[in-house]
């Protein structure tokens, strides 16, 4: 019980620190909701969800519905390693491929890990999602996304 409370408190403190840091971003004169607002909105939402999660886990533990003996299985360990590997690969290649080409790789990996096995959905959803996120962040919110190198950089200039 105390471990969950410590983890929730740590997450909340980190998000609060990032929220305070995000308040120092320069304001946009182009749009009402510029690039300085989206981190604040996401971090506010994350802090609210962290408080809700902490209260629900404390209530569940007090009700006696959870055992204290927790072991990680081999399948869970491989899933964590796979997730970490996807994020590390995405962080390594995002500078060269850019946001537009890296996001489908990231979404494909996580969708596959979460159990999606339909080929059409595994191909189309990450591509459509990356286009929508690129247009949303790059055009609407004026957030500078990594553009990549070569032809991918040129394509990103045409898109946003």
**pLDDT per residue rounded down to tens, the chain (160 residues):** 677 888 889 999 999 998 998 888 777 666 666 667 778 888 999 999 999 999 998 888 888 765 556 677 888 888 888 888 898 899 899 999 999 999 999 999 889 888 888 999 999 999 999 999 988 888 887 788 899 999 999 988 888 8
Question: Measured between alpha carbons, how far is 135 from 141 in angstroms, rounded to an integer?
Answer: 9
Q: What is the pLDDT of residue 31?
A: 62
What pLDDT is stored for residue 136 in this prediction? 87
pLDDT of residue 98: 92
Distance CA 42, CA 15 (A): 10
Report pLDDT for 80: 82
User: How far is the C-alpha of 81 from the C-alpha of 28, rounded, in Å?
Assistant: 39
Query: Would the pTM of this model clear 0.75, i.e. be above it?
Result: no
């Amino acid at each position: 019980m105390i471990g969950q409370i410590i983890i929730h408190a740590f997450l909340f403190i980190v998000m609060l620190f990032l929220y305070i840091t995000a308040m120092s971003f320069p304001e946009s004169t182009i749009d009402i909701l510029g690039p300085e607002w989206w981190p604040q909105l996401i971090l506010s939402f994350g802090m609210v969800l962290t408080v809700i999660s902490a209260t629900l886990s404390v209530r569940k533990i007090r009700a006696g519905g959870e055992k204290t003996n927790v072991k990680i299985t081999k399948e869970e360990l491989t899933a964590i390693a796979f997730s970490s590997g996807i994020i590390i690969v995405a962080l390594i290649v995002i500078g060269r491929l850019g946001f537009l080409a890296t996001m489908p790789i990231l979404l494909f990996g996580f969708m596959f890990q979460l159990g999606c096995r339909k080929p059409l959905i595994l191909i189309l959803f990450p591509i459509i999602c990356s286009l929508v996120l690129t247009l949303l962040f790059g055009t609407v919110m004026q957030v500078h996304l990594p553009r990549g190198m070569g032809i991918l950089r040129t394509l990103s200039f045409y898109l946003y």
